[in-house]
Amino acid sequence: MVPLQIAFVGFPESDSVWSAVQKRVEKLGRFFDGIIRCEVKLLCPHQHEHGSQLYCVHILLVLPQNDVVVSQDPSRNGAHHDIYVAIRDAFDAAERMLQEKVRIMRNQTKTRHKKSEEGPIVDDSYYEEQFQQQNEEEGYLLH
């Protein structure tokens, strides 16, 4: 089991929210058993103009070589009026990033160093940039 720390900021703790986060962390732990710990910060910084709340989730996965950090930018995605949607989306991004980090740690990244008649030489940094850009377009800042 991955050691888990959850902080609720701006709204009261909830057993059901805690459980939802715990299930997602357990899923990550089944995917990669080298996670040292996971810190999750659930924020509701202020109420939206119509009285609804806007949630954001920050995740830190501490790994042996590189950490995974996911920070949602709620202003880029209005679907986070529901805490469970915010949790789902943040953990989906964390899972994608963890998969990429594990692939790199296991040296299983697709590397293209040969000259190709079809195009220029492309190395791993190209794929990492594309991965980062895709997640940023979805409203996540990944480190």
Per-residue model confidence (pLDDT) at position 108:
60
Per-residue model confidence as pLDDT tens digits over 93-104: 999 999 988 888
Sketch out the chain's domains with CATH numbers: 4-142 (3.30.160.100)
**pLDDT average per 10 residues of sequence, the chain (143 residues):** 93 95 96 93 75 85 90 66 91 93 74 48 51 59 53
CB contact at 8 A, 10 and 45:
yes
Task: Report the pLDDT value the prediction gives residue 26, as an integer from 0 to 100.
Answer: 96
d(CA 18, CA 88): 13
Does the model's pTM come out above 0.85?
no
d(CA 20, CA 89): 12
Phi-psi region of 51 (alpha: psi -120 to 50; beta: other; left: phi over 0): left
pLDDT score for 66: 82
